[in-house]
Every structure is written in C-alpha cells, then in structure tokens.
Amino acid sequence: MSQEMIPGAQALLRVFEEENVDVFFGYPGGSVIPIYDALYDAENVRGVLPRHEQGAAHAADGYARVTGRVGVCMATSGPGACNLVTGLATAYMDSIPIVAITGQVKTNLVGTDSFQEADVTGITIPITKHNYLIKDPHEIERFPDILREAFYLARSGRPGPVLVDIPFDVSAGPVPWVERNIEALDGFEELAVPDDADIDRAADMIEAAQRPVLLIGGGVVHAGASDEIRALAEKCSLCVVHTLMAKGCFPETHPQSMGMPGMHGMAYGSYAIQHADLLIVIGARFDDRITGDLSRFAPDAKVIHIDIDAAEIDKVREAQVGIAADARIATRELTQAVSARDAGEWEAHLQQFKADHPLCFADEDELMAPQLVVSKLYEITEGRAIVTTEVGQNQMWAAHYYPLLEPRRWCTSGGLGTMGYGHPAAIGAQVGRPGELVVDIAGDGSIQMCIQELATGVIEKLPIKIIILNNSYLGMVRQWQDVFYSKRYSGVDLTGNPDFVRLAEAYGAVGLRCAEREQVVATLEQALAVDDRPVVVDFAVSKEENVFPFIPAGKSYEDIMHCPLRQTQ
Amino acid sequence: METQRTLSVLVKNRPRVLARVAGLFARRGFNIDSLAVSTTEDEAISRMTIATTADPPTLKQIAKQVQKLHDVVRVIDHTEQKVVERELCLVKVRVERTQRPELISLCDVFRGDIVDIGNGGVIVQIIGDSDKIDAFVDLMGEYEIVEMVRSGKIVLDRGAQG
C-alpha cells in the first residue's frame, strides 16, 4: 500500500479538524503563506486576524481558559514568532493549553541568518512545555503525529503551551499522512491516580484537624474539579480560600468561602491560613503572592498537597502528605475516604475574621472610586459576566469586587502578570463563548499595550466591554511609590493618554465616558446594550486610590496593611 | 547538607536535548559541576551524567524538574547507591629532563600513563574517581601545569539492574 502524500499545510488543517479546532488566532507572513493558502479553501476552520501576534497568543489563551479546549495561535517566522513570546510565557506560567504554530525559513536556510529567521525553538524552550522544529527527514515523516503530540501534550498532565515550528518547504511540500492513534504517541500516559494509602492518611489528617483550611488553585480549573471541591468542603465543613487563578472554582458567595488570601487578598482569608493547623492545598503551588515570607506562612499548619505536577510537591513548602495526581480524581477519592465533620469552634473564629476585616473603600460623594465601578458592574450584570483583566490595580479590584460562582469565567495573567493581556483575552473568550457577556476590566496603562486589537473586535463584531479604570497613572507602581518611596512618583504619570472615546470611535467601536459617580450605572447600561461591536468605557476614577489589603513583598500575614478607612473607624 | 551529588539523565537522542536539560539547570539556579554526554547501549538514547552541588531536597527538586522534560526518559539519582565512578584527566606539565624519573614514579603510584613526551612538555593521563584525580592534580602543582582537561565523571550503579 503506497503512503498517501499531502502538502504539510493540508496535514496541519487535517489535524486541526481531528482536534476540533474550528478557529485559531493568527497573523500571516512569508513563511506561513502555504498554510494561509490552504486555509483559503478550508471549510471547517477559520483564522481570526489580530493586529499584533501578541494579541494572537493572548486570544488563544483566553479562548482556552473559558472553553477548556486547546487554544491555537499562529505567526510567521522571525519577528512574528518572537511577538508570541510574551503570550506563551503568560500561558506557561498559568498552565494554559495552547498550540502555537510558527512558520520558519526553508529547511536549507535554517541556521544561516536568512531573512526573517529567528531560533524560535531555542527562544521558547523555557516558556513552553515542549517545542518542535520540523526539519530533519525523520521529523517530516512524523509530521502529522508530531502535531497530534503537540495537542496531546498541551492539554494533558499539567497543561501548557506547545510550539511547532514549520519551515516553509515543509508546509508547502509533501509529507506522508498517517492515521491518528493517540495512544501510540510518544509521551502518552494514563491520568495520574492517587495512592490509596496517601488518600487514607490525608483523610485521617482532616478528621484530626481543628482548624483546617482548603486552599484551591488553578489546577482545580484545569481538572474540572469544582464540583468535587464543593463536595469535599461541604462534607467536612472546610473553609475555602482560592488563589487568583482559582477564582470561581468555589462560589465566592458561599458561606464557607473565605475569599482570596495573599498580598492583595482578603484579610480574613489570610488570617484563616495564618491560624490554620491543616492546609489542604489542591492544584496550587505556594506562589510568593500567596505565601509572602515563607518562614512565617501558616506556621502551625501541616500540609496535604495534591498536584498533578509532582515537581510542585515539596518545591516551596514541605507537604506531610503529597499526592501527585489529577485533582478531580484525588478530591473525589478523598471525599469518599473522609468522615463528615463539623467546623466546631473554628467556625466562629472564621466568621469573626470576616466580620472584623471586610473589604472596604472610600465611597464618598465627590469621588468615583474604581472599586465602586467594579461593584456596580457586578450588580447590574448580576455576576454573570466572563471577566478578563489587565494587570495592576484593575486586576485586584476585579478580583475583589466581582465575585464569581463558576470556573472558566475568569481570565487573568496570574503568574506572569502581563499588562496588555485582558483585551485580546476578552476577544478569545468572546470567540469561544459567543453568547456570553465578556468584560475586560482594564487600566489606562494596560489597555494601551494591546489597544490595536480594537480593530479585531470590530471586524469580528464582538460585543466585548472594555472598562477602563482611568486614573492617568500606572496605579500599582504608583501605589508602591506612595507607600514605600515617600510618594516619589517616578515614571508612572500617564499624562498624554489618548482620548479613549475618540480612539474607540476611530476603530469603529463605541466609546463612552463617565466622570461622575451618578452616571456609573447609566453608562454601564448603555455599554451593555451594545451587541454588535466592542465598547470602550472610560471611567475617570479617583487618581490616588490604593489597593487594600496590602502585604508588602517578602512580609507575612502579620504585616497586613488595611484600608486606611478601617484604621480610622 | 550541600555536597556534590550525581544524576544520570537518560534522554531521547533528539536535537536540542542538551540545551533543554542544561537550560533547565541554569534557569532554576541549579549548578552543573560537571557534565558528560554519550551514546548508550540503545542508539535512540543518550546518557548525561551530571554532577551537581546541592542539598537533598534541592537534588530531589532538580530530578523532578528534569523528569518533566518531554525528551527525558529517566532520571537516576546515584545518592546512596553503590556506584562505579570514573573520570579521565589529561594534564600537560612542563618538566626538565632531570625531573622526569620523579614524575614517572608519581604516575606509577596513581596508575597514570604518560601519553606524550616532547619539547619540555609531558602529558599524563589519569583515570579514576574524582577524588583521586583531584589528589593527582594537586600533586602536579609542584610542576608547572601548562593545561589540563577533565572528561567529567561518568557513573554506573553496581549490580545487575539497569
């Protein structure tokens, strides 16, 4: 039987079809022209054209976060591929499954400094789960399987971005087509299940604990373990704190939710951890934004740590029981193994923490506090939006004042902290879930890092809402300079911002402005009524509002700085 | 306690695999004291022997991080294993004719071989575990060492297990 030979570009599109990729985010260029030519006739997949490759990577990331599927982005060789780097690093830090397809110069030119050549597989080794350059004959022979392997690796185990670098002559030239057999792929593994003895030990520890706290992270989103987490929490009367990544995995309005702990977390969540005698950590990795000074973090707590990535266990904080397994399976087994318990006296303490340390901000007549804008957004959207954020104060206020009830409604760059992420992520989210309300909570600094994607939203008729909390500052840096550098505001003044309303209109989007607190709701309602194009709403918020609570970097939960309002009460 | 420990990393014989492993050490702040890479009994697999200075938890973390790389087949931690360890060293020393007998007898004690003599320079080859080589190199300090190269250690666990 003779082997079927097809152009590499056709093989790529066939694998897209196998993987149910019906949309990707890509920007053409010389080295990917054969792929775009094949795309011209393709019926089952289309490319969304961002205006910068960084937008493509973030859009694929947003798409992946809200759909749970692998997001796909594409760029040409050299500068195009280099522009994906920030997006790949963002996805890598947050374990988001992306397949990035990059063009490369012809195989005989690789390594010769040819036009638009960059060593993209070299550049992206530290920020991808794995990457491939299809250059040698044995790689070209396996081309369809390498593509399948890329998708498999991106979504399996601890998910993450995978890059496939395809030279022009490979996508233009013939490759052998082989049928799909996932289980035969290099690297295929069964889902990791926990050891029974470890589950039993963990159950014993929960039963023996007086002050247990369940800390959940982004792994719960990836594993789809929200229902299992809730069952465990309710069976054992566990209070639940979530990392920024796990927002929505446990309903934030649930009485057992103690919010988000950490640097800008709710003080009551931080206090719960600080007083805990047992931390049950599922799909979280003891990031420094959660722990602060490690030596003073949860000093009395034993640790049960469940993570799909064995390397996370004992990496930062030693676990008395470490379970390297899928969060959903492990949580389910743990819930079955453990006996029901009530919260006992701990419950009263927790409620006291909550009562003593609520979030607060200055809600005064003449001010339009940024927190007020987010709160009103929450009220009038009844918490049903998919929220993306930029990075900085806007991100923390979104985390504080837009509580979520479900996972996969939250896109934020938690690990890398990438300004410019939220807008393209909102585009990806809206493409992935067209019927949903998608809102990007932005700052006037961040939004300008990927502002060009307004064109994408307009062409694609995406009714995303971009809420700019405009204080004409790089607010988070200004806050640090305020608190630690005697208000020596250096390099943070964004005087010279464009007129965002006219900018939106120039792109064909809707621009709205609100400078008075009485108009917040009406303006938001006006924005929500638009259903065929992006809306940019420029809220002129109070300029020097700080995010509280605030634990300075490297300090501990004992050093929480509260909202000044509370201190004067 | 921070001491030198050895890992063997079995990797698929693929482009960039050395960069992936070495880059991981660099970006996570792990030391590489020595590195030897070679083919193995299986032509699809290469073996990297990496000596690193680390305490036990750090070594465990290194091993787990390396194991995650897609092209890594297996990581073997030789700590607390009975091993055969060898390293090869070539030392070029400048010696006068009159010093040669003394040098030859030192080489005999360490089972070193003189592999080249010419024009005032002598190259000595010595094979052994790293301590032995360190001791020999110290001794050569009494002469003028012109240049020196070490292969990096290679290690196999004793016994029948692979």
Q: Which of A384 and A366 is assigned the larger pLDDT?
A: A384
Q: Are residues B88 and B152 in the same domain?
A: yes
Contact with chain A for residue B29, Cβ under 8 A: no
Residue B27 lies in a domain: yes
Q: Are residues B44 and B7 in the same domain?
A: yes
Contact with chain B for residue A189, Cβ under 8 A: no
Please tell me the distance from the alpha carbon of residue A178 to that of residue A144, in angstroms, as a whole number: 7
Please tell me the distance from the alpha carbon of residue A332 to that of residue A191, in angstroms, as a whole number: 14
Summarize pLDDT for A243-269 with one digit per residue, the tens.
999 999 999 999 999 999 999 999 999
Rounded to a whole number, what is the distance in Å from the CA of A429 to chain B's nearest CA? Answer: 29
The alpha carbon of residue A90 and the mean position of all alpha carbons in its chain are separated, in whole angstroms, by 8
Q: Are residues B9 and B71 in the same domain?
A: yes
What range does the domain containing B103 cover?
84-156
Residue B73 lies in a domain: yes
Task: Mark yes or no for CB contact A311/B67 under 8 Å.
Answer: yes
**What CA–CA distances, in Å, run from B76 to A338, A383, B27?**
36, 51, 21
Rounded to a whole number, what is the distance in Å from the CA of B6 to chain A's nearest CA? Answer: 19
Mean pLDDT along residues A465-478: 97
Q: Are residues A290 and A205 in the same domain?
A: yes
Residue A569 banded pLDDT, cuts 50, 70, 90 = very low
Q: Are residues B64 and B119 in the same domain?
A: no
Q: Which of A129, A186, A314 sits opposite B60 (nearest CB)?
A: A314
Contact with chain B for residue A311, Cβ under 8 A: yes
pLDDT greater than 60 at residue A375: yes
Q: Are residues B51 and B23 in the same domain?
A: yes
Q: Which of B15, B23, B61 sits opposite A126 (nearest CB)?
A: B23
Residue A568 banded pLDDT, cuts 50, 70, 90 = very low
Angle at the Cα of A558 from the Cα atoms of A553 and A560, rounded to 5 degrees: 60
What range does the domain containing A296 cover?
196-356
Q: Are residues A151 and A51 in the same domain?
A: yes
B-chain residue closest to A162, CA distance? B70
Summarize pLDDT for A20-71 with one digit per residue, the tens.
999 999 999 999 999 999 999 999 999 999 999 999 999 999 999 999 999 9
Residue A191 lies in a domain: no
Q: Are residues A29 and A133 in the same domain?
A: yes
Q: Which of A150, A184, A218 is the last residue of a domain?
A: A184
pLDDT greater than 60 at residue A440: yes
CATH number at residue A154: 3.40.50.970
For A104-165, give the secondary structure using H, E and C: ECCHHHCCCCCCCCCCHHHHHHHHCCEEEECCCHHHHHCHHHHHHHHHHHHHCCCCCEEEEE
A420 φ/ψ sector (left φ>0, alpha ψ -120 to 50, else beta): left
CATH number at residue B132: 3.30.70.1150
pLDDT on residue A260: 97
Q: Which of A84 and A564 is assigned the larger pLDDT?
A: A84
For residues A103 and A172, the answer to whether their CB atoms sit within 8 Å is no
Summarize pLDDT for A505-523 with one digit per residue, the tens.
999 999 999 999 999 999 9
The amino acid that residue A309 corresponds to is D
Q: What is the ipTM of this complex?
A: 0.92
Q: Are residues A349 and A442 in the same domain?
A: no
Rounded to a whole number, what is the distance in Å from the CA of A246 to chain B's nearest CA? Answer: 24
pLDDT greater than 80 at residue A239: yes
Positive or negative, the Cα torsion across A111, A81, A97, A26? negative
Q: Are residues A399 and A314 in the same domain?
A: no
Q: Are residues A407 and A329 in the same domain?
A: no
Q: Which of B77, B93, B114 is the last residue of a domain?
A: B77
Q: How many domains does chain B have?
A: 2
A-chain residue closest to B62, CA distance? A311
Residue A498 banded pLDDT, cuts 50, 70, 90 = very high
Bridging pattern class, strands A46-48 and A239-242: unpaired
Structure tokens at A312: 């996370």
Q: Which of B77, B106, B140 is the last residue of a domain?
A: B77
Task: Mark yes or no for CB contact A122/B19 under 8 Å.
Answer: yes
Bridging pattern class, strands A465-470 and B3-12: unpaired
Residue B60 lies in a domain: yes
pLDDT greater than 70 at residue A394: yes
Residue A150 banded pLDDT, cuts 50, 70, 90 = very high
Task: Mark yes or no for CB contact A126/B27 under 8 Å.
Answer: yes
For chain B, 162 residues long, the average pLDDT of each consecutive 10-residue run is 92 95 95 95 97 94 96 95 96 92 93 91 95 94 94 94 80
Q: How many domains does chain A have?
A: 3
pLDDT on residue A566: 60
Rounded to a whole number, what is the distance in Å from the CA of A73 to chain B's nearest CA? Answer: 21
Q: Are residues B33 and B99 in the same domain?
A: no
